[in-house]
Structure 1
Amino acid sequence: MTQFKQVKDSQVDISELMLPSHSNFNGKIHGGYVLSLMDRIAFACASKHSGAYCVTASVDTVDFLKPIEIGELVTMKASVNYVGNSSMVIGIRVEAENIRTGEIKHCNSSYFTMVAKDEDGKSLKVPGLILTNDHDIRRFAKSIKRNKMTLNRKKEFNETDFSSEEYVHLLENYKVKIEK
């Protein structure tokens, strides 16, 4: 196994024309279809970096910024932003291009955590990451920050007893009715 790989060594770009069969009843492309494409490119990028089969462990921050229209060319760009022992955070940027006008819009950015597996389903060590510019360093540092925020959120939720009467006040400003 290679000890370290550069970010550019495992970057993947894919483009696909959005067809009517990918749309919902409102004529926009299904978010689920977009997520499926994102999962595929995350798999390709992680597998390219690790040289192994990879599975999706989690998806962080999926915000649909702008709708994608039928007939637009969607391009997804994926790169390894962070590596752990067996896990990798794959950053994905989704853009849609109106092929008639050339206008490009940013539709989504997301982060998929992928884990490398062997034939028996056991986690495998992945190569380290060679950071060659400020952009790579910033993305790696942001991934560390996101990981810490996720751990803190999980810890807080595990330590909090939401069944307690003490927390009912949290619901006061929400559209909820309590009937016991």
Structure 2
Amino acid sequence: MQTRYKTIKESQVTFSELMLPSHSNFNNKIHGGYILNLLDQIAFACASKHSEAYCVTASVDKVNFLNPIEIGELVTMRASINYVGRSSMVIGIRVEAENIKTQQKKHCNSSYFTMVAKDEAGQSVEVPGLRLNTENDLRRFARAVQRRKTKSEHKESFSEQHFSSTPYLELLKEEKVQIAL
């Protein structure tokens, strides 16, 4: 079977929503959990659009809350496919909030969701490949490959079978921890 390829633009999704008082926390800022819910929805839409299949969230690799979002601001999320594997996709999402009165925008969040395409029986299905058309497309794909590699190496070095506390004992002397082994 010949692999199909799609461009990043073919699967991009943009979503905007006005932030209401019902979305706020006790500090009158928009609740992070509400933003996470929206992030999951846009990641699903972007991944499903690319794969043409139902998708599930496999992991949230990174969520950086950079600036608070205020009640009354217009939040815009932009989701793009950054990486594809056999059945998985990494969706990069950028969140901006805009003060509607002043039109001032601020970058509030960057996130990376790993989504997996599934069939009706719940089995993973192969997704189309990704056609990289710009230097930025290539940079994002390479960054995702590097993040996956680093994550795998980190997981391996901290597994129960391979972990050795000796190299960390000196490092942990500077931390607020009491070791009683």
* TM-score using structure 2 length: 0.93
The secondary structure found in structure 1 opposite 2:144 is helix
Alignment of structure 1 residues 41-60 onto 2, 5 Å = 41-60=42-61
Tell me the CA shift for residue 144 of structure 1: 0.6
Tell me the CA shift for residue 19 of structure 1: 0.7
Question: Which residue identity is paired with 1:8?
Answer: K
Match of 2:31 in 1: 30
Match of 1:18 in 2: 19
Note the aligned Cα RMSD (angstroms): 1.7
Tell me the CA shift for residue 176 of structure 1: 2.4
CA distance in 2, matches of 1:94, 1:166: 39
Which deviates the most, 58-67 or 38-47? 58-67
Which deviates the most, 65-74 or 165-174? 165-174
Tell me the CA shift for residue 166 of structure 1: 7.1
Q: 1:160 to 1:43 in 2, by over 3 A?
A: same
CA distance in 2, matches of 1:149, 1:89: 15
Q: 1:114 to 1:176 in 2, by over 3 A?
A: same
Q: 1:125 to 1:24 in 2, by over 3 A?
A: same
CA distance in 2, matches of 1:93, 1:57: 19
Which of 160, 163, 177 pairs up with 2:163?
Answer: 160
Corresponding pairs, count: 178
Tell me the CA shift for residue 45 of structure 1: 0.1
CA distance in 2, matches of 1:179, 1:133: 53
Tell me the CA shift for residue 71 of structure 1: 0.5
The secondary structure found in structure 2 opposite 1:40 is helix
Tell me the CA shift for residue 173 of structure 1: 1.3
* TM-score using structure 1 length: 0.93
CA distance in 2, matches of 1:167, 1:51: 46
Tell me the CA shift for residue 63 of structure 1: 1.1
CA distance in 2, matches of 1:134, 1:54: 28
Tell me the CA shift for residue 170 of structure 1: 3.7
Alignment of structure 1 residues 75-114 onto 2, 5 Å = 75-114=76-115
Tell me the CA shift for residue 167 of structure 1: 4.5
Tell me the CA shift for residue 172 of structure 1: 1.7
Alignment of structure 1 residues 136-155 onto 2, 5 Å = 136-155=137-156
Q: Which runs of 5+ in 2 are unaligned?
A: none
Q: 1:115 to 1:23 in 2, by over 3 A?
A: same
The secondary structure found in structure 1 opposite 2:59 is strand
The percent of aligned pairs where both chains have the same amino acid is 66
CA distance in 2, matches of 1:32, 1:105: 19
Q: What do residues 51-80 of structure 1 show as CA deviations (whole Å, max 9, x unaligned)?
A: 000001111121111000000000000010
Q: What do residues 65-114 of structure 1 show as CA deviations (whole Å, max 9, x unaligned)?
A: 10000000000000101100000000100000000100000011111100
Tell me the CA shift for residue 161 of structure 1: 4.1
CA distance in 2, matches of 1:167, 1:9: 46
